[in-house]
Structure 1
Amino acid sequence: MKQPGFFDVEERLARLSGLGDQLEAFSRTVDFEVFRPDLEKALAYSDGSKGGRPPFDPVLMFKILVIQTLNNLSDERTEYLINDRLSFMRFLGLGLSDRVPDAKTIWLFRERLTQAGAIERLFERFDATLRSAGYLPMSGQILDATLVAAPKQRNTNAEKADLRAGRIPEDWQDKPSKLSHKDRHARWTLKFTKAKQQDDGTMPSRDLAIPFFGYKSHVSIDRKFRFIRKWKTTDAAASDGARLREGLLDKTNT
């Protein structure tokens, strides 16, 4: 094995470009800076005068959501692969020594955009940018839904009942710090997975149903260019079919 050289990273990135790096195509096609005003408005970060670690750049975080959605990744897997893959680092403008957002930071960013109702608007603009660059969706589409885990809540039965009814529990209303740490939109559902072979070689007659708490990410990707066209976020218990009636399906791309 040869000794690592100074230009090894550049050579590997050049090889990835030659093989067809989809994220590099995104970078050439989309000026992600156009999303900055909408992101900053939705996130409403403080000016930093109170101190503390500054938040990650919102454009970088939005690009992480693009990576996550395109590859159907959980927050934890996204954090790992950003650290692991040179193509992800290049797309995000990160060097090997740069700090990478952890899974909780990614979750908080998506949660703030969801609460602000900004995700659909951002991806509508994303789709418009692709169309204006000539990437017209005309070869069919792939619809997919991915469960995204959220931190489990420790709520009382009364608090759970209030949340299901769309109310803020009374005990939380005068405690803004507690309210800010409570996820009021995630829901429980069952995640079905194939049962594993038993030690004696037999297969269980039923698949496994695993309780899951969080959200569901619904995306529409065009078949020809493999670009994300539409994205909706719901709680994990939401029906996939209902999203088709809410505009996730592009009727012009068949």
Structure 2
Amino acid sequence: MKQPGFFDVEELLARLSGLGDQLEAFSRTVNFEVFRHDLEKALAYADGSKGGRPPFDPVLMFKILVIQTLNNLSDERTEYLINDRLSFMRFLGLGLSDRVPDAKTIWLFRERLTQAGAIDVLFNRFDMILRNAGYLPMSGQILDATLVAAPKQRNTNAEKMDLREGRISQDWQDKPSKLSHKDRHAHWTLKFTKAKRQEPATDLAIPFFGYKSHISIDRKFRLIRKWKTTDAAASDGARLREGLLDKTNTASTVWADTAYRSKANEAFMEKQGFVSRVHRKKPHLKLMPRHIQRSNAGKSVIRSRVEHVFADQKSQMRLFIRTIGITRATMRIGLANIVYNMRRFLFLERVGGAA
């Protein structure tokens, strides 16, 4: 079998570029070096004076997390595909003979960032890059939330009762390994969906287990500006008053669905100088007035843009929580939000930039 030569590899990479390598576009458009200071500060590596193998470059490791998030890969699968794919190697700046981080190293890197709470800092760092490139939050903002699935927990009725009352089951305390596999932060909720095949259409309540991703995007560029992670049963509307609104937006208008309509939210927005374009709810046991129907329909044209963000994350990135606990779930959702903004940045630059 013929051993591949240098020019053979170069020819393959050129062919990948011609086919539209997304990672190559990432390398051209996003300056990953801007994350170095924040990564080094969060990781707090030793200076190497005590010897030992030096750690992998933090920017390279962060780019591995980007690959993972883009393709919804486990740590083991990520290690394999980095060794297997030339496009991954080129994006990471690795040669065919270079050492590749193994699955355990990838897990430890992500875990250190998670425990350091670095995801907010990294998200804000890239948001600053977007602003410096001219993508300021403009034309108002749109709020919404989506459910993100996590592995279902198989608990007994007694264990469920303990969880509801904030206790840890005695059986779990006696078995630390079992406790480590129990997610005590993810919750069950009901997901309501229309039964389209029935006439008339009715709402179906589907049990759902996991977390909830809350975001605020700007209307102009549809970039995520604020975000928050909660359990699946958390109220959407209450998050509006918990830092989800972006005060730096050039317009004060806020769009959201009826879950965000409450007296407390309306009073809060008025006090903070925001103009509410939140959908109005249907009167109880009454028909919706025609003028409110028309008003809500007009608002939906704008509000529906936020659904494209969730569709991108769930279809392209196949967003799913594999980990245990809300701290790690926040890291996973935060990475998905950063990667979405990177992909959106690539698109905006390709179609003409901030102008």
Bin for the TM-score computed over the shorter chain: 0.5 to 0.7
Q: Which moved more, 1:216-225 or 1:131-140?
A: 131-140
Instruction: Say if 1:205 and 1:229 are closer, same or farther in 2 by CA, change over 3 A.
Output: closer
Give TM-score, length-normalised by structure 2.
0.44
String of CA shifts for 1:210-244, please: whole Å, max 9, x gaps: 11111111111222222221221111111111111
Is the 1:153–1:182 Cα contact (8 Å) retained in structure 2?
yes
Is the 1:123–1:230 Cα contact (8 Å) retained in structure 2?
no
Q: Which moved more, 1:117-126 or 1:63-72?
A: 63-72
String of CA shifts for 1:79-135, please: whole Å, max 9, x gaps: 999999999999999999999999999999999977875544443333234334432
Measured after TM superposition, the shift of residue 187 of structure 1 is 0.5
CA-atom RMSD, angstroms?
A: 6.3
CA distance in 1, matches of 2:22, 2:172: 45
Instruction: Say if 1:180 and 1:132 are closer, same or farther in 2 by CA, change over 3 A.
Output: farther
Instruction: Say if 1:159 and 1:142 are closer, same or farther in 2 by CA, change over 3 A.
Output: same
Helix, strand or coil at the partner of 1:209: strand
Q: Which moved more, 1:22-31 or 1:69-78?
A: 69-78
Helix, strand or coil at the partner of 1:196: coil
Instruction: Say if 1:51 and 1:130 are closer, same or farther in 2 by CA, change over 3 A.
Output: same
Is the 2:194–2:201 Cα contact (8 Å) retained in structure 1?
no
Is the 1:218–1:231 Cα contact (8 Å) retained in structure 2?
yes
CA distance in 2, matches of 1:147, 1:245: 20
Is the 1:29–1:130 Cα contact (8 Å) retained in structure 2?
no
CA distance in 2, matches of 1:105, 1:190: 38
Measured after TM superposition, the shift of residue 43 of structure 1 is 9.4
String of CA shifts for 1:127-186, please: whole Å, max 9, x gaps: 234334432212222222111111111111221122223332222124232122111111
Instruction: Say if 1:134 and 1:205 are closer, same or farther in 2 by CA, change over 3 A.
Output: closer
1:91 maps to 2:91: yes
Give TM-score, length-normalised by structure 1.
0.58
Measured after TM superposition, the shift of residue 245 of structure 1 is 0.6
String of CA shifts for 1:46-102, please: whole Å, max 9, x gaps: 999999999999979977998999999999999999999999999999999999999
5+ residue gaps, structure 1? 199-203
Q: Which moved more, 1:34-43 or 1:65-74?
A: 65-74
CA distance in 2, matches of 1:50, 1:152: 44
Instruction: Say if 1:4 and 1:250 are closer, same or farther in 2 by CA, change over 3 A.
Output: farther
Is the 1:123–1:229 Cα contact (8 Å) retained in structure 2?
no
Q: Which moved more, 1:173-182 or 1:48-57?
A: 48-57
Is the 2:138–2:221 Cα contact (8 Å) retained in structure 1?
no
5+ residue gaps, structure 2? 250-354
Q: Which moved more, 1:166-175 or 1:61-70?
A: 61-70
Identity %, equivalent residues:
92
Is the 2:191–2:206 Cα contact (8 Å) retained in structure 1?
yes
Q: Which moved more, 1:123-132 or 1:23-32?
A: 23-32
Helix, strand or coil at the partner of 2:154: coil
Instruction: Say if 1:13 and 1:247 are closer, same or farther in 2 by CA, change over 3 A.
Output: farther
Q: Which moved more, 1:212-221 or 1:27-36?
A: 27-36
Is the 1:151–1:214 Cα contact (8 Å) retained in structure 2?
yes
Instruction: Say if 1:115 and 1:185 are closer, same or farther in 2 by CA, change over 3 A.
Output: farther
Number of aligned residue pairs: give it: 249
Instruction: Say if 1:231 and 1:158 are closer, same or farther in 2 by CA, change over 3 A.
Output: same
CA distance in 2, matches of 1:149, 1:85: 29
Q: Which moved more, 1:54-63 or 1:127-136?
A: 54-63
Structure number with higher helix proportion: 2
Query: Greater Rg, structure 1 or structure 2?
Result: 2
